[in-house]
């Protein structure tokens, strides 16, 4: 077995505004999937356009590809990516840390956020041509608390929690291999096996959580995720399906 998936390109940049922006620029010119990795980002962003800082030694990359599924299912690649990220971290960390996934796709290490994922569709006229999956991992250092929102989960780093030194260059191949394998599984068998594997790694499953959108706050017991990836909460008023929200423990 090689340490890089067949037919997948790799672009490693010393400095870029953001790997997601570079993916959008590359999309019209590439035929197959490609990983875009940067050692430094000057204008990175997270979900909902939030600023995202990248301390030196941390991992930042975007996978650009054409999804092999219906447009309505493209968002499920978020769960594929979360599983791949958890698998790559587990392979490199081993028993030195406890990993889990916070819905929908933040990876936790010993209960703190060590990695996050951002999905963006690329296309024109309402047609999806490519999907960009941006991944950031605190390998060397967690961002300072002053850079975070007051309600944000406390960040941690791999080095801080385990004492292990893993470089961004070392991290990309196992991540790319894990995503390639899981994406092929998703394309062949659908979401069911991905959902089962994700639930086995879900943080706070069976416990009370709070889901907040810009207009509503819902508290309930996190029971499962459905076939669309929505979080199902058991509330005082019955089950609720949460399609998108910030989740707090």
In whole angstroms, what is the distance from residue 249 CA to residue 147 CA?
Answer: 20
Q: Which residues in the chain come in under a pLDDT of 50?
A: 1
* Single pTM value for the model: 0.93
In whole angstroms, what is the distance from residue 204 CA to residue 233 CA?
Answer: 12
> Domain 9-199 carries which CATH code?
3.30.930.10
Structure tokens of 73? 């299912």
Q: Where are the domains of the chain?
A: 9-199, 208-248
pLDDT at site 213: 92
pLDDT at site 2: 58
Structure tokens of 34? 């490609």
**130-175, pLDDT tens digit by residue?**
999 999 999 999 987 666 665 678 899 999 999 999 999 999 999 9
Class of domain 208-248: mainly beta
Cis peptide before 104 (omega within 30 of 0): yes
CB 37, CB 15: distance < 8 Å: no
pLDDT at site 189: 96
For strand 34-38 and strand 59-65, is the pairing parallel, antiparallel, or unpaired?
antiparallel
- Residues linked to residue 100 through DSSP beta bridges, in sequence order: 108
Residue 49 CB coordination number (10 Å): 7
């Amino acid at each position: 077995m090689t340490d890089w998936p067949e037919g997948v390109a790799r672009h490693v940049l010393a400095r870029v505004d953001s790997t997601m922006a570079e993916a959008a620029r590359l999309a019209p010119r590439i035929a197959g999937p490609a990983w875009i990795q940067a050692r430094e980002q000057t204008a990175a962003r997270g979900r909902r356009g939030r600023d995202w800082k990248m301390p030196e030694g941390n991992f930042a990359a975007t996978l650009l590809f054409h999804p092999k599924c219906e447009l309505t299912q493209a968002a499920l690649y978020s769960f594929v990516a979360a599983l791949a990220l958890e698998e790559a971290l587990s392979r490199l960390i081993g028993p030195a840390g406890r990993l889990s996934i916070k819905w929908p796709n933040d990876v936790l290490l010993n209960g703190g956020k060590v990695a996050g994922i951002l999905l963006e569709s690329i296309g024109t006229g309402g047609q999806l041509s490519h999907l960009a999956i941006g991944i950031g991992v605190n390998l060397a250092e967690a961002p300072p608390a002053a850079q975070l929102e007051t309600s944000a989960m406390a960040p941690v780093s791999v080095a801080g929690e385990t004492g292990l030194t893993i470089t961004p260059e070392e991290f990309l191949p196992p991540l790319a291999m894990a995503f390639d394998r899981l994406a092929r599984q998703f394309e062949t068998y659908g979401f069911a096996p991905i959902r089962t594997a994700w639930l086995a790694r879900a943080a706070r499953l069976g416990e009370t959580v709070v889901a907040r959108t810009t207009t509503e706050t819902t508290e309930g017991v996190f029971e499962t995720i459905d076939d669309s990836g929505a979080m199902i909460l058991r509330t005082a008023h019955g089950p609720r399906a949460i399609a998108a929200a910030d989740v707090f423990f």
